[in-house]
Structure 1
Amino acid sequence: MDAPIETNNENQSEQVDQQIEKRPVGRPKKYFNDEDRKDAIRKQQLATKRRYAQKKAQIYIVETANLFLIASAFDVINGFIKADEKEQPKKDQSDYLS
């Protein structure tokens, strides 16, 4: 019974050796040809431009919202000032002359 086990082990070790020999040495090729490389670079640049445009739009939206908040705050302040002016009785100019 030892003979079949040894043959299996030898076969497996030979298969492992063959697989090791088939493995490429060094870095695997990422691109098959120059056109693939250019296409990958083009896609990467488009993705970068898209992210930049999204960020720019996001900043524009936030700035616009902030401007609306500031404008509404000024409206509220002006409303308080006008209400305060209405509540205070106006003094005659004669008070200032005497």
Structure 2
Amino acid sequence: MIKAVFYTENGRLSGFSLTGHAGCGTAGNDVACAAVSSAAELTCNTITDFFGDEAEVCVLENTLTLRLKNEGCGYSEKLLESFKAHLGFISEEYPRSIQIIVK
């Protein structure tokens, strides 16, 4: 199961952390895991490279974390909300593949 933790500050989303695997297929053939990974990379790259917001991004084996360093342009929070919703849609399609937690 993928564990997706979304962080909040002052009532606003400020980042996320992903760990684990969806377990919906063999390595390299897990559609749910690939969908989450692709959406997460798009989210990170859009925030840092296109919106130009400062964020701490950490990529380790089986872990991806992004934390905004400031409130940014406002679009980053909306993108984080969209990413969270997207993970919810994937979870509906692949039950027991993603656990979403908001802290």
Indicate the TM-score class for this superposition, using the shorter chain for normalisation.
under 0.3
Larger relative strand fraction: 2
Larger relative helix fraction: 1
Q: What is the TM-score with the length of structure 1 in the denominator?
A: 0.25
Q: Which has the higher contact order (CA 8 A, sep 6+)?
A: 2
